[in-house]
Amino acid sequence: MRAVVQRVAHATIHVAETCVGTIGPGLLAFVGVALADGPEDVRRMADKLLHLRVFPDADGKMNRSVLEIEGELAIVSQFTLLGDCRKGRRPSYHQAAEPEVACKQLDALVEALRTQGARMATGRFRAHMRVELVNDGPVTLLLDTSGVFQFISAYENRYLSRFDLRAHVRLRARAPGGAPNDLRSRRTRRRRHGRARQSFVGRSAPLHGRRAQRLG
């Protein structure tokens, strides 16, 4: 599940000429549902939206959540967040969930937010909407429950010039909490190669030709 989250002073959602939702200070989230998303993705996204510390405290630091300021949340469905623009000029949406599945997941997300006390506004699924907003800051964040936008450490970044970032993300998903399997294997091969090279250099090889004459 992917979201673009904006801190807003206010936002309004229109379908045709009808206002279907409006909020004051709070968060506006454009949300796209991926093929592999399930209940755990819904739970994680709801928890993140409710507890992101992006609102200023008394010292002006972003240290408060939307719940703490008693703000509002607006959820707008946007499958185009799953668009793949790497090839050609027409985005591919093969990673987006089917409309029936996506609608259920978005309903579950809205319900999870409401049960935790959030004041909500929503768009209308599969409708052509006009969203008007005033971004306060501006503050805009990218969220993805699959970890696509996760931080890559400086240690791992040394290896990324040699393999594709997409492969890095896939390997991260297979090995949560640690370095990707491919990184482990690369480090292992380098250590073994280093030991083999040291042992070779340490051997006393016979000298031949001009080098033997100079040393002699």
Side chain identity at residue 88, one-letter code: G
Told to judge if 78 belongs to the known catalytic residues of this protein, a careful annotator would answer yes
Residues 6+ apart with CB under 8 A from 20: 13, 14, 122, 123, 124, 129
Say which of 12, 30, 55, 78 is annotated catalytic: 78
119 sits in which H/E element: strand 119-122
Told to judge if 22 belongs to the known catalytic residues of this protein, a careful annotator would answer no
Instruction: Identify which of 48, 49, 50, 52 has the alpha carbon closest to the alpha carbon of residue 62.
Output: 52
Distances in Å between the Cα of 93 and the Cα atoms of 30, 36, 106, 117 are 16, 14, 18, 33
Say which of 12, 79, 105, 145 is annotated catalytic: 79
Say which of 80, 116, 140, 188 is annotated catalytic: 80
55/58 Cα distance (integer angstroms): 10
Helix and strand totals (H; E) in the chain: 6, 8
Instruction: Identify which of 71, 80, 194 has the alpha carbon closest to the alpha carbon of residue 131.
Output: 80
Give me the phi and psi of 29, to 5 degrees please. Answer: -120, 120
What is the Cα Rg of the chain in Å?
Answer: 26
Told to judge if 80 belongs to the known catalytic residues of this protein, a careful annotator would answer yes
Question: Which amino acids are annotated catalytic?
Answer: 78-80
